[in-house]
Amino acid sequence: MKLVLKNIQKSFDQKVVLKDVSFTFEEGKIYGLLGRNGAGKTTLFNCINEDLQIDNGTFYIEDENGQRRVEAEDMGYVLAAPVVPEFLTGREFLQFFIDINREQIKEPKSVDEYFELMQIAADDRDRLMKEYSHGMKNKMQMLIYLIADPGILLLDEPLTSLDVLVADEMKRLLRTIKEGHILIFSTHIMELALDLCDKIVVLNQGVLEEVEKEDLDNTAFKDKIIEMLRG
């Protein structure tokens, strides 16, 4: 499976955010999306997730059956500011989510097994989510997508609000699920991107470009990335 973006353009008022974004993301890889503040990383995600209408261009999935539209169930989008329905308890939310996705879930587990996976403590599971901390909400949101298991996962700065242990666990988790998935991971933190991601792509001046590692060592590679970010 490939996710192909072709000549995507997006402007707000007169400000061009995405000038001409073309790229092909391949299955089984974690992509680190780097860009300066305001470079348009979130805009790009919003466009791919169809939260925003693109002005021009196209994007589609290419697999063994040829080209097809990106459907809702192909895509998961973990937001930087996680949102969960406040009136449900963690357990009720999971139960509801498992119910409505019963047919898509390949290897269903029990609700508590899912909680274990995310290391959510037993006494938090039956609390209303309006009382959850930012990090807890983040875990819940991540968990939802682990259950739904979409082919493409967009992650917008997902690790920044998690504590060290959970962040580490999450990294491990992302590495294990990357087989059969396309993971696109946007972050400001270069070390995190280098540590976790297989490929680094840079969004600069509205254009998306891969930074080829070639045979550079880490320091030289970093310098190259910074050079590209500077434009």
Partner 1 sequence: MMRILLNSIKLSQTYGINTFIYRMRQLPLIKNLFTVKFYSDSNLKLVIRIFINLYRGIKAFAGKLLYVGLMITLPMRLAGADGEMFVHILFVLTIAGAVGNTEIFNASKEKYYAVILMRMEAKGYIIANYVWFLLKSAVTFIPAMMLFGWLWDRPAYQILLMVLYIVAAKILGAFLLMRHYEKTGRLITEGSGKVVFSAIAICMLLAYVPMVFHQILPSGIYMAGMMAAAVLAVYPLVYLMRCRTYKRMCKEMLNQDEIIFDAKEKTRELQRTGTLRNIDEGEVKTGNKRGYEYFNVIFVERHRKILTRSVKWETCGIIILTAILSIGSLFFKEAAAKVNVEMLNMLPYAVFVMYMLNRGNTMTQAMFMNCDHSMLAYRFYRQKEVILGLFKIRLRTLVKLNLIPALALSGGLVLLLLMTGGTETPFNYLLIIVSVLAMSVFFSVHHLILYYLLQPFDINMKARSSAYSIANGVTYAVCYMFIQFEAPLVLFSLMTIAFSVIYICVALRLAYKYAPKRFRLK
231 touches partner 1 (CB under 8 A): no
Please report the sign of the dihedral spanned by the C-alpha atoms of residue 13, residue 16, residue 17, residue 19.
positive
Name the one range near partner 1 by CB under 8 A: 96-104, 181-189, 201-209, 212-220.
Answer: 96-104
Question: Rounded to an integer, what distance in angstroms lies between the CA atom of residue 225 and that of residue 231?
Answer: 10
Quick note: the x/- pattern for partner 1 over 14-43, rule CB under 8 A, is: xx----------------------------
Name the one range near partner 1 by CB under 8 A: 74-82, 165-173, 175-183, 202-210.
Answer: 74-82
The length of the chain, given as a count of residues: 231
- Select from 38, 58, 87, 216 the one that contacts partner 1 (CB under 8 A): 87
Give the nearer residue to partner 1 in terms of CB position, either 79 or 207. Answer: 79
Report 118-147 residues binding partner 1 (CB under 8 A): 128, 130, 144
Name the one range near partner 1 by CB under 8 A: 76-84, 171-179, 180-188, 195-203.
Answer: 76-84
Whether the CB-CB separation of 98 and 111 falls below 8 Å is answered with yes
Helix-strand-coil split of the chain, %, nearest 5: 35, 30, 35
Question: Rounded to an integer, what distance in angstroms lies between the CA atom of residue 159 and that of residue 122?
Answer: 22
